[in-house]
Structure 1
Amino acid sequence: MERKRLRNILITLFVLALLILGFWFGSGYLKDRRSAGEDIEKIKDLQRVLEMEPAFDTAEAEETVLPEPEEEAVVVIIETPAPEEKIERHITDEHTVKKGESFSLITGFYWEDIFLWPDLYIRNRMHSDDPDLIYPDEIITIYNRLGRGEDFSTKETSEILEAYLEVYRIYKKLGDRKNNSVWSLLWCAARYDHDFLDKYRDRIDPEDRAMAQKYIDEQGFLD
């Protein structure tokens, strides 16, 4: 009886020991499986993140359009035209004509340039209508001259040539007898602008232009 009871106790203890061992090993195995499963899930989550947000997408980089560099501002400089030159003329002296004098001679005396005489002539009123003829004791009003030496501004040159054209017009009124004076006058005018005959061709008779050009071709400009 006692032996049977002892055997039952031992069997019970053995079964309990097996159960305890099974539980211990089972819980460790499950724990390891759970840990391994958790690690696998973390790796999968990381892979999903990497797939969704790659660190560098080459396709996207190829499609990315870089902004074009800004164009440099173009600076437009507008040149302001120089103010129109003003030429002021004023009386500086008076001259009493002496026998044998001419406008070119008087001009050379006061202005040191005999070729400027048409500019002096048109500023005076003489007794004769012929620019080549002046009388003793006539009074010629002297003005400040244009230019300095041989230097003349564009406006000064234009004013000189206008004086030449005015004297040319006066000569033409006097008829063919003044032809030599006409041709010499045009030749002298060309010294201030070598293109004079072409620039003012619409105000000069073609025959007069031709003769003046002949003077230039044969004698050159009066520089």
Structure 2
Amino acid sequence: MADGVTGAKLNDDDPAIKYSGPWGYQSGGGGTGVAYRGDYHYVPAPLSGDTVSKNLGGVAEVAFTGSKISVGLLGWVNRGNAEVFIDGVKVGSVDGYTGQVQLVKWNSQTLACGTHTLKITQSDTAGKNGGRIVALDYVEYSGCGSSGFVCAKVAGSGGNQNGCTAAGQSCSLGPSEVDTCWGNGGGNGRCYDCNADSVVNILDFACFAKRWLNRI
């Protein structure tokens, strides 16, 4: 497992992922041929006709430091819906139904760079084929960068790009930062005074670009 600087891809058996409820573990066979590292956790367990429809309550949680996170599930015809929460707020629902065993991926929006908690729960809403099984393959998050762009000051009331809301904070690195920031003409408080001259203008773009190139 990596720290919040570089990010990490966590296999389903990584100890950082905490499981509660009727989860089972599959390694080898059972659709693991397409799984990351050949295994996955599934809920409910055991997979019987009685428990597939009744045994709900599976939860998987992981704390991470970063600006984005993705969830990899294994889809199939007997899969149901998974609900995704970040910091206690529901941010998505993933339908695991697919015609064949394959990866189903969910991606978060860009988050404020910092420490967050991801929670995946088994929904009480059945999938397309009546299934309720959720199969977790991996979790992957993007780190904040070891030396992100530092805000010299905040421009506007909306806060700077990627969670930079106060002078001296470090913003996370991402391919959309230049487009998002400078494409909107500096509106919404998203651009910052990169060269610390108390003015947000094209000179700050040159400063921003130089720092960006130094990072890649």
Per the TM superposition, whether the score is higher than 0.5 is: no
Query: What is the TM-score normalised by the length of structure 1?
Result: 0.24
Higher strand proportion: 2
Query: What is the TM-score normalised by the length of structure 2?
Result: 0.25
Higher Cα Rg, which structure: 1
- Compare relative contact order (CA 8 Å, sep 6+) and give the higher one, 1 or 2: 2
